Amino acid sequence: MQKFDVDLFVIGAGSGGVRAARIAAGHGAKVKVAEEFRVGGTCVIRGCVPKKLFVYAARFAHEFADAAGFGWTVEGTRFDWPTLIANKDKEIARLEGAYGTNLDRSGVEVVRQRAVVEEPNVVRLADGTRVSARIILIATGGHPNLGLDMPGRELAITSNEIFNLARLPEAIVIQGAGYIALEFASLLAGLGAKVTVVHRGDKLLRGFDEEIRTRLAEELAQRGIDFAFGASIDGIYAEGGRKRVRINDGRDLFADEVMLAIGRTPNTTGLGLDKVGVHLTENGAITVDDTGRTNVPSIYAVGDVTDRVNLTPVAIREGHAFADSVFGGSPWSVNYDVIPTAVFTEPEIGTVGLTEEQARAQGRRLDIYKTDFRPLKATLSGSQSRTFMKLIVDQKDDRVIGMHLIGEAAGEMTQLAAVAMNVGATKADFDRTMALHPSSAEELVTLRGRHSSSDPIPEASAEATPAI
Ligand SMILES: Cc1cc2nc3c(=O)[nH]c(=O)nc-3n(C[C@H](O)[C@H](O)[C@H](O)COP(=O)(O)OP(=O)(O)OC[C@H]3O[C@@H](n4cnc5c(N)ncnc54)[C@H](O)[C@@H]3O)c2cc1C
C-alpha cells in the first residue's frame, strides 16, 4: 500500500476545516491543517462572532431610549468605538487561541501558512514543503466580491475591513441588500452613523419571504436608514478627507466610508485545482457530491468554497459528515431541508424552512397563519416597532414547512421552532403546545385563522392580550 505523510491534509482552518480535522483525528487519522491567516476562519475572525458583538453594542441605543417609559432616566450616554474594537479584538484573540488549543489537544498539527494542491495526493506549502496525503480536504471559504471595476473602487471597504476601522464613520454608503449589507446598515445606524443603502433591485434580502422583505425595509427606514433602490455606485472620489459617491442616477452622496457588500466568491483561485482537474462551477465554487467528494477521488471540499448554503453551522456539519464518512466508517450526509437562520438587523429576522413563494412554486396547497402585533414592551417604551410572524402549513399533512419572524428574539425563537419542524411537527402539534405567557413566542402556538397572503391581519393580536 502507498505510504503518505498524513491521512488527511485540510486546507483552511475555518468552521468546516477545523471540525473535519478534529473529528478525523478522533477517528485515528493523522491530520495536518494549513491556515494562511488566522485559525477560526471567517466566522470567528471577521464574520458571525465580531458582527454579533457589534450588534449587541448597537442595541444599547434602543434600550436606553426604551428605558424612559419604564421610569429610568438615562443620562450622559456616550459611545466609544475604540473601546468596542479593543474589547472585540481581545475576545477574538481568545477564541482563536481556544481553536488552536482544541486542535492541538485533538492531535492535529496546524501549519500556519498558505497551502495549494500540487497533485491529487500532494499539497505544497508556501515555504516549498511538499506533504503527501491520502485525502485532501479543501475548506478555504470565500471572500467579499468587489464588483465591476469603477473609478475609486480601491477607496471602498468590505466586511473584512469594517471590523477594524480606526473611527466609527459619521456617514457610510453601503452597496448591497443581502444579510451582511443590512446587518451592518442596521448596527452602524444604531451606533449613530448616517447610513445610505444603495441597491440595484427594488427589494431587500432576495430569497426571503416577501412579507418579511417588505416589513424590514419599512422598519429600517423608520430607524433613519436611507435607501437608494434601482441604483448602483458608478465611482468613488476622495474629497477633503471624505468620499464623494457618484450614484448612477447622477446623484452624489458624501460619506466617510463606502462599504461593498455585494456577495462573496469561493476561494479557489491559485489553489492548483486546475492542475489536478477538480471541477468548478461557473462562479468558481468546487463541485461536490453528497459526501463532499469532488470528481478527483482523493480530494473533498466542504463549506463556503462549495457555495451551497454559506453558513457556519452548515460548514461545521459538512466537515463532521465528511470526517465520519471517510475516516469513521459511518457515512452520513447533511440534510439541507430545515436550516434555521437569522438576520441580526434591528428588528431581527428569524426564518426556517420554505418561504410562501417557494412552497407555492412547488405546487403545494398551503394554509398561511400570521400575526402582526405590538409587543408588550412597546406599550410602555413607546417604540413603534411591531412583531410579525408567519407559519406556512402544507394542507396535505398539516405539517409546518416554513416559519418567518421579524421582531425581538426572532433568531432565538427560530432555533427552537426548527427542532419541532425537524421532527415533522404539524400545526395541530403547535396548537397542542401550552403557551408560555407573557411572551412573543406564545403567539406561535396560539395562531388561529388561516389567511391567504393578501388578507389583512387582525390588529388585536398582542402578547398583552392572550387569546382567551
Ligand atoms: C460579515 C459576515 C457575517 C457572517 N455572519 C454569519 C452568521 O451570523 N451566521 C452564520 O451562520 N454565518 C455567518 N457568516 C458566514 C460564515 O462566516 C461562513 O459561512 C463560514 O465561516 C464558512 O466556513 P468555512 O469553513 O467554509 O470557511 P471560512 O470560515 O471562511 O474558513 C476558510 C479558511 O481558509 C483559509 N484559507 C483560504 N485559502 C487558504 C489556503 N490556500 N491555505 C491556507 N488557508 C487558506 C482562510 O484564511 C480561512 O481562515 C458570515 C460571514 C461574514 C463575512
One pLDDT digit (tens) per residue for the chain, 468 residues:
679 999 999 999 999 999 999 999 999 999 999 999 999 999 999 999 999 999 999 999 999 999 999 999 999 999 999 999 999 999 999 999 999 999 999 999 999 999 999 999 999 999 999 999 999 999 999 999 998 899 999 999 999 999 999 999 999 999 999 999 999 999 999 999 999 999 999 999 999 999 999 999 999 999 999 999 999 999 999 999 999 999 998 999 999 999 999 999 999 999 999 999 999 999 999 999 988 999 999 999 999 999 999 999 999 999 999 999 999 999 999 999 999 999 999 999 999 999 999 999 999 999 999 999 999 999 999 998 899 999 999 999 999 999 999 999 999 999 999 999 999 999 999 999 999 999 999 999 999 877 655 555 544 444 444 444
Q: Is 62 a catalytic residue?
A: no
User: Which atom number of ligand 1 is nearest to the Cα of residue 144?
Assistant: 53
The pLDDT of residue 454 is: 52
Sheet with 366-373: list strands edge to edge: 341-343, 349-353, 400-406, 387-394, 366-373
**C-alpha cell of 194?**
448616517
Nearest CA to ligand 1 atom 3: 47
Sign of CA dihedral 42, 47, 49, 50: positive
The pLDDT of residue 468 is: 46
Ligand 1 pocket mutation, candidates 53, 145, 312, 345, criterion most atoms within 8 A of CB = 312
CB 208 within 8 Å of CB 178: no
pTM above 0.85, yes or no: yes
User: Which atom number of ligand 1 is nearest to the Cα of residue 113?
Assistant: 43
CB 47 within 8 Å of CB 74: no
**C-alpha cell of 126?**
508556501
Does the CB atom of residue 17 touch ligand 1 within 6 A? yes
The pLDDT of residue 389 is: 97
The pLDDT of residue 448 is: 86
User: Which atom number of ligand 1 is nearest to the Cα of residue 115?
Assistant: 42
Does the CB atom of residue 42 touch ligand 1 within 6 A? yes
| Strands 233-239 and 264-266, bridge-based pairing | unpaired
